[in-house]
Structures are given as C-alpha cells and as structure tokens.
Chain A
Amino acid sequence: MNPSASQVRSGCWHCGDSIPAGVEIRASIGGTERAMCCHGCQTVATLIDQAGLNRYYEFRDALPERPELGQVAIEDYQAWDRPAVREHYAKADCDNLYSLSLVLENVHCAACAWLIHRFVGGLPGIAEIRVDVSDGRLHLRFNPERTRLSQIAARLASLGYRPHLDSPLAGTARNQTERRQMLKYIVVAGLGMMQVMSYALAKYIGAWQGIEPETERFFLLISMVVAVPVCLYSGQLFYKSAWRTLIQGRIGMDVPVAAAMLLALFSSVFITLFGSGPVYFDSVVMFIFFLLLGRYAVLVARQNAGQLHSALARSLPVQTRRLGADGPETVSLIELAAGEQVLVSAGETVPADGRIVAGSVMVDESLLSGESIPRRRVIDEQVMAGSLVRDGQMTLQIEELGQSTALAGIVRMLDQARTYKPRMALMADRLAAWFVAFVLTGATVAGLVWWQIDPAMALPVVLAVLVVSCPCALALGTPVALAAAARGFARLGVLISRPDALEKLPRITHVVLDKTGTLTQPEMRIEEIRPVAGFDPDRARRLAGRLERVSRHPVASAFARFDDGGQVEEAEAVTAAGVCGRIDGVGYRLGKPAFTAELADAELSEPGPGQWVALGDDSGVLAWFRIDSPLRQGARTLMEGLEGSGMEIWLASGDRRANVQRVAQELGINHVRAECTPADKLALVRQLQAEGGRVAMIGDGINDAPVLAGADVSMALAEGADIARTQAELVVTGKGLGRISTAFALAPKVRRVVRQNLALSFSYNATALPFAAAGFVPPWLAAIGMSASSLVVVLNAHRLGRSVVVKRETEDGRGQTNNPAEPASSPSPVN
C-alpha cells in the first residue's frame, strides 16, 4: 500500500479536512473534479493546477493547513521594496543580486519546497531559490530590478506560505554549524572505518592463508595511522561531552562511551608500538561511526522541533503607514521609531505599543488576552502591538517598539516557561547516571577479576563490557520510535514538533482547554431568535441583516448572510450600542436592549442568559437575537472521548465569566476558570502539576503560549496565533477538533512501540553484559552486537510510521467510527 498522503482522500482534496455537510465546492485538478472543503482550498488548489504543478499532491507526505480565503495583493508587501528593508535584511553581491532569507509559514514537507521552487523560481531575475524544510526558511538570491520582493512575497502568500522577514539570529546559524560539524565527523569516521576495516580484513584472511610478518606489521601500522586521527577528530563530540559532565561532578551517558573509545585506542597504540596482542582499531572506528549516525538522527529531530525565533515577527504586521510631513507613507516596521505616529485602520494589526492620539477603534485583543469581544478604545487609551483593529481608524503615537512591547514580554515569559522541565526529563537523566555508574563498576570489577585469572584477557574483557553495554539502543529506542510516529501523524494532519509529547500523551490526567478560538469558532452566529408574537422571524433576520451592513462590529458578522441588499436610509452605527436606520419609512434600532428601548421609551431586559441583541421600532421590541460564537466541529466528540478515558477537563479562558460558563455548561465541563490572565492559566497548570497531574493544554492564542510552554503536553490549532503554534508540541491542522481525538486515540500505540524498544534494548544489554564479562565476547563482536541492537530498534520504530497511516485509512473506510478502544484492524506492530 502506498502510504503517501495523496492516497488518503476521504475529505478535501487539498487539506484533507472533512467536508462540512451541504458544501459543494469543486476544483478541477489535472482534469479531474475534486471535492474541496472551502473556497480557500479551492483557490490554492486551482492556482497549483493552473501552474501545472499538481504533482505536488503526489509528492507530499504532510497535509497542509487550510488556507485563508482572501486575495493577496502585491500592495500588502509593498514596504518590502523599500531600500531600508533591503539594507537591513538583504546582502548585495557584485552582480547586483541580493540575498535574503524569509521565514515561511506552513512548510511541512519536501513537496512544499518543490512547489515553492517551481512556483516562485520561475519569476524573472531569480538567480537562486532554496527552501529549507526543517526550519521553513526560504533562501533567495534575486535581482530586485527584474522582480520586486513584494511580487515574490505576494506569490508565496497566495499559495498559503505567508512569508515573514527574517532577522538574522544566532540560533539558526548555530544550528547550521552544529549540523555541518556532525556531518564532517560522520564522513571522516565512515571513510576511516572503511579503510581500517579493509586492513583488518586483510589481517583476518592472512591468519587463514598465511601472511608475512612484515606485511602484517605494515597493516597494523597503517591501521594506526588512519585510526588515531580519525578517532581523535570524529570522537571529539563524545570526549567533550564526557569531560563536561565530569567537571560538573556528574556521570553522563557519554562517560563510558568516551572511556571505551580512548581506552581501546590508546591501548591499541601501545600494543602496536611496544608490545604484542590484539588491537581494536577497527572496532573503535566502527563504534564511533555508528554512534555518530544515531546522534545525528537525534540532532536533526531536535532542530526540527518548533523554534521560537521569529515568533515575534510573525505576530506583527508586514508594514504600516507612518504619518510624515506630507501625509501617510507605507513603511516597514524597522523604519519606525518611538514618538512617531502611525495610521492604523480596520483589518490591520497594530504594529507597536502606543497611545491613541486621534480616532477611535474597536480592537480585538483575543490573541493577546483571550477576551472574545473586541473593545472600544478612544483617545489617550493604550493599544498593544499584535492586536487587530476590527473597526474604525486611529492615529497611534508609538511608545514601545519591538522587544519592549507587551507582546515581546509574553514571548519572553514563554521562553522561561520552556526552561521549566517537568519531572520526566529529570528522571531519565538520573536513570542514565545510575546505568552508567553500574556499567563502569561492572567493567572495573570484571577487569580486576580477569587480571587475577589471566592478565592478557583483562583489557579485551573491559573493552567488551564497555562497548557491549553501550546504552545506544536504550538511548536510541525512544527518539527513533517517536520520530517515526511523528511522520505518521503528519500524514493525518497532526504536526508534531517535539516528538516526546507522543510518549507523554497517554499518561495525561488533566486537560486544560482554552475557550475563545479553541472550543469556539472565531466567527459569530445567531443561535436563537425570539420574535414577538406575530412577527415573522425571517423578516426580523432580513431587517437585522440590512441594518448591520454599516457596522463592523464582530456581532455584525452573524447577520451578514441575511442581508438581502435592500435599501436602508439614515443608517448609522452607534459606538458601544448598536445600529439604527430607516427601512421603508420605519425607523429601526438593533443593538443593546437599552439602546433599542430608547426608541420606544420603554424598559427592556434580556430574555435569558447569553448575549442578546434587540431589534425594535418606536412601538417596542420586535425580535431578540442570541449571538454566540458556535462550537467548533468535533468539540463534543473530543469531550466525550476525553471523559471516556477518565481525564479531568478544565476550561480556562480569559473571557468573561458568563460566556465561559455557558460554553462549559453546553459541553458538561465542571472545572471552570474565567477571566484568566496568561499568568493565571500558567499558575493553574502548575497547581495541577503540583498535585501530581499530568496536564495537556489545548489553546490557540498568544495568551495561551506561556501555558502551552508550561504544560506537559501542548496542542495548538493551526488557525491560531503563530506564537502558540511554535510553542505547541502538537499542531492540529484543519478547522475541527476531531484530529485531537485521533491523536489521543493513537498515542497508546506509540507508547507500546516505545516500550517494546526499551524492552528489546534492555534485554540485549542484560544478556550481553554477563557474556562480555565472562570473556566470551571479543570487542569486535561487541561492536557488531551494539550496532545490531540499535538497528533492530530502528526497524521496529519504522513500522510505527506506516501503521499509523494504515489505521487512518481503515478508519475512513468504516466511516469515521471514532472508537479509541477498538484495536486497529490493520496489521499492528504490537504482539
């Protein structure tokens, strides 16, 4: 069976999400009509098809995030063409070409890189284009006179890969150096290993067929000439790491490893030069090579884990309008200074912390504070960078920029939360130290005993014990299994940035959920209509739809679809109250009860709990509308699944108590915290952890980011804020919560494979150690055994990546019966 994501096609052809009932959107891909879940997907898929790049769907092995609908215009990025941007971010070379890096959102697999390469690389004047899939960076060398940067940026954004300017940070450069250094070690060790092995082979064959003593001596010397520099160079990593832990007074995993290497190397050198006996040049080099391979895999996995850098840039707008002497001018954020004034209007993100000096706006701070309803801000009030202006226009006097904004403060807070590691990691460290101490003692004891019996055997036995018990497979077992599972999950639309989260997932006891944007959708909807007797609800909706046309308050979004386009006279949106207007000669008001009541000069009170708006004319109220953000698809299933597995569910939201309570009631959640600041949420998680709970946090906003960092397992929705996404260990693509249920359902399987791997490697070590101590295992066999045990562990883990996908396919075949208890009907790697 081909495990490629293109084969899993029960939902949307583009993003793989399930298609909501009643949606009939299609796009022609490669001449075939394919079902799409939304217009955003349709736009992107059509774009890909028109460019003749539909093979993307065959290549990819991770599902993309659902694209936003909305035309991307070159104007959105026009500030990037300014010389200041070029000077700050780009480097010019002699051919008048500029090199720069962009951070792209949503780059998941090599197919994304291919798509970008084809789609953007064809523009004139682009000399070089390279996408680094591991960190989502695009490296570009181009001629700005032939293709402007804004054109490139708009093209990327239209595919759903929103670009951000990348401030050069030490982190990425360090990652690159680390990776390159490791590659050099590996290749030197690999080439050295081949050489030394071939000399050793000559010696072994010579032992059968006869070899002249001087030829043998020559092979010995040449082995030493190759092995010594190779070991000293490629083994550096282990010597340095062992030394670091030793001077800190601890015993790390690398201590016996380094001890075995150096002991084997120098005793072999000594024997070659002054004595006679067995030498271990081939074993040492092989040992170093295989260990390095394992370390490289771990390094790459760690580096691919969610990175914090550029989180700040991602939450700020691309450009802004600065008020200069001759009117507003579009500039990039780096050109701003404190004290300057910028113009921000509806639909734009606030670029800096500041004070309003003119105008008034509705700002949506839901990503920063969790507050679901936008607030009105007027002159002299503060506005925070990263909040979204929903309505109105303002002139903002900049007070704080970049690193000193409140937003940057939240980013720093989550940085600190990250360093606080739950018990798990600490325990693993302690366990490793015990293991290492045990091995070192064992080797010493075996050596001393053999010294009494047969001094010639002491050294080989000590080496064999050290090498055979190398906790390589033990150390490798978990990370490789998790990495394989992460690949499998990516094909299901669950992206895993830190794979150890999968191991922790089945042990979760508490789940903390955010409300705004996580359990509920960002848009508003009419939940209930109560017309007065005899008044047609349809007519009420249509009237309301027309009246709300002038308003940009989020409540208006609930009515937009009922607007029949009819005439409204004297339409006006009244701040913090509602809208009024005249239809067919009758004056209407729609809004807060008090506002509507004014017209009829009556008292009105809300007919029930919730957020109600009243439609009325001069005779009194005509209809009540209850407005709410609807629950996300799959919220109920998620709750049932979590409760079914005995987890305690908490709802922690920054929103007002009434709103939070209602959602909690609807979903049957008993533990509720409302009006939480990010620090409150973090404190809640810490408290639950202190009581012995293992806490999973599901959130989406910037305000959730510190909590996500502090929780044992963190999950974010792909739709949420970028900071939350970079923080979360699991990112769920698509609009529904169903994939979170899938992740919880599949996690026990991952843990089973991890346990198998640990059991395998431990039983290997436990069996091999006595044999080695008894002198039955020569060092070369020990090295082979060590490698073989690692290989078995890796292969076992590999089955995990496949089986997860198979499970999803059969699940689809059964029509999404979401039953976590049911064993997979696919060939399971377990038992």
Chain B
Amino acid sequence: MNIIYVLIPLSLILMVLAIGFFFWAVKNDQFDDLDTPALDVLDDDEPASPEDTEQPDR
C-alpha cells in the first residue's frame, strides 16, 4: 500500500497541471463560444448534397 504515498501526490501534481492548462485555455478564448463548435462537428468540409439533407436518419 506504500505506493499510494507516491501515486496520490503524483495525482495532485497532475491535477494542478490540468487546472493550469484549463486556465491557459480560458485565457486564450477557448471557452468563449460554447454553442457553435457543436455544429461544426456535423459539418463536412464539402457542402452537403441535397439528397443528404433531405433524408436525415430517424
């Protein structure tokens, strides 16, 4: 069980790194727009052909 004395402080360091990375991302406008990226995923680089748009699978 002694390994936890190493692993848990390590996880803390990772958490601090994660928070640091998140703060950096917030500062660089990554979280300013939370609406449109959801749609970008749906979008192919080429405009969709009319047939595709007429038959959404449901």
Which A residues form the contact surface with B (CB < 8 A)?
2, 30-32, 51-55, 58-59, 109-111, 113-114, 117-118, 130-134, 176, 179-180, 183-184, 187-188, 191-192, 195, 199, 212, 215, 218, 222, 225-226
Q: Given the complex, which residues of A lie within 8 Å of B26, measured CB to CB?
A: 180, 183-184
What are the interface flags for B36-49 relative to A under an 8 Å C-beta threshold, 1 for contact and 0 otherwise?
A: 10111011000110
* B36 near A131: Cβ-Cβ < 8 Å: yes
Cβ-defined partner of B40 (8 Å) among A114, A132, A176, A195 = A114
14 extra A-B contacts, CB within 8 A, seeds A30-B54, A31-B54, A132-B33? A32-B54, A54-B50, A59-B42, A117-B36, A130-B29, A130-B32, A131-B33, A180-B31, A183-B26, A191-B15, A195-B12, A215-B1, A218-B5, A222-B12
20 contacts between A and B (CB under 8 A): A30-B50, A30-B53, A30-B54, A32-B54, A52-B47, A59-B42, A114-B40, A118-B43, A130-B36, A133-B35, A134-B35, A180-B32, A183-B26, A183-B31, A184-B22, A187-B19, A191-B18, A199-B8, A215-B4, A218-B8
Complex-state Cα separation, A131 to B9, whole angstroms: 42
* A58 near B53: Cβ-Cβ < 8 Å: yes
Q: Given the complex, which residues of A lie within 8 Å of B38, measured CB to CB?
A: 110
Q: Given the complex, which residues of B lie within 8 Å of A58, measured CB to CB?
A: 53, 56
Q: Given the complex, which residues of A lie within 8 Å of B43, measured CB to CB?
A: 55, 114, 118
The 4 nearest A-B residue pairs measured at CB: A52-B47, A30-B50, A110-B35, A113-B36
* A188 near B19: Cβ-Cβ < 8 Å: yes
Cβ-defined partner of B1 (8 Å) among A59, A130, A212, A222 = A212
* A59 near B19: Cβ-Cβ < 8 Å: no
Closest chain A residue to B1, Cβ basis: A215
Q: Given the complex, which residues of A lie within 8 Å of B19, measured CB to CB?
A: 187-188, 191
Q: Given the complex, which residues of B lie within 8 Å of A134, measured CB to CB?
A: 35
A809 to chain B, nearest CB (A): 16
* A130 near B39: Cβ-Cβ < 8 Å: no
Cβ-defined partner of B8 (8 Å) among A53, A133, A183, A222 = A222
Complex-state Cα separation, A113 to B32, whole angstroms: 14
Q: Given the complex, which residues of A lie within 8 Å of B54, measured CB to CB?
A: 30-32
B58 to chain A, nearest CB (A): 7
Chain B count of residues within 8 A CB distance of the other chain: 32
Q: Given the complex, which residues of B lie within 8 Å of A55, measured CB to CB?
A: 42-43, 48, 53
B56 to chain A, nearest CB (A): 7
Cβ-defined partner of B47 (8 Å) among A53, A113, A187, A212 = A53
Q: Given the complex, which residues of B lie within 8 Å of A226, measured CB to CB?
A: 12, 15
Q: Given the complex, which residues of A lie within 8 Å of B15, measured CB to CB?
A: 191-192, 195, 226
Complex-state Cα separation, A383 to B21, whole angstroms: 56
Closest chain B residue to A195, Cβ basis: B15
Complex-state Cα separation, A477 to B8, whole angstroms: 39
Closest chain B residue to A113, Cβ basis: B36
B39 to chain A, nearest CB (A): 5
Complex-state Cα separation, A31 to B52, whole angstroms: 12
A478 to chain B, nearest CB (A): 23
Cβ-defined partner of A133 (8 Å) among B5, B36, B40, B47 = B36
Which residues in window 7-35 of B have CB below 8 A to A? 8-9, 11-12, 15, 18-19, 22-23, 26-27, 29, 31-33, 35
A807 to chain B, nearest CB (A): 22
B23 to chain A, nearest CB (A): 6
Closest chain A residue to B22, Cβ basis: A187
Closest chain B residue to A2, Cβ basis: B58
Closest chain B residue to A116, Cβ basis: B36
Complex-state Cα separation, A131 to B4, whole angstroms: 47
Cβ-defined partner of B39 (8 Å) among A30, A54, A114, A215 = A114
Q: Given A184-B22, A187-B22, are A52 and B48 also a contact pair (CB < 8 Å)?
A: yes
Complex-state Cα separation, A118 to B9, whole angstroms: 47
Q: Given the complex, which residues of A lie within 8 Å of B1, measured CB to CB?
A: 212, 215
Q: Given the complex, which residues of A lie within 8 Å of B32, measured CB to CB?
A: 130, 132, 176, 179-180
Q: Given the complex, which residues of B lie within 8 Å of A31, measured CB to CB?
A: 50, 54
B30 to chain A, nearest CB (A): 10
Q: Given the complex, which residues of B lie within 8 Å of A225, measured CB to CB?
A: 12
Complex-state Cα separation, A212 to B36, whole angstroms: 51
Q: Given the complex, which residues of B lie within 8 Å of A222, measured CB to CB?
A: 8-9, 12
A139 to chain B, nearest CB (A): 9
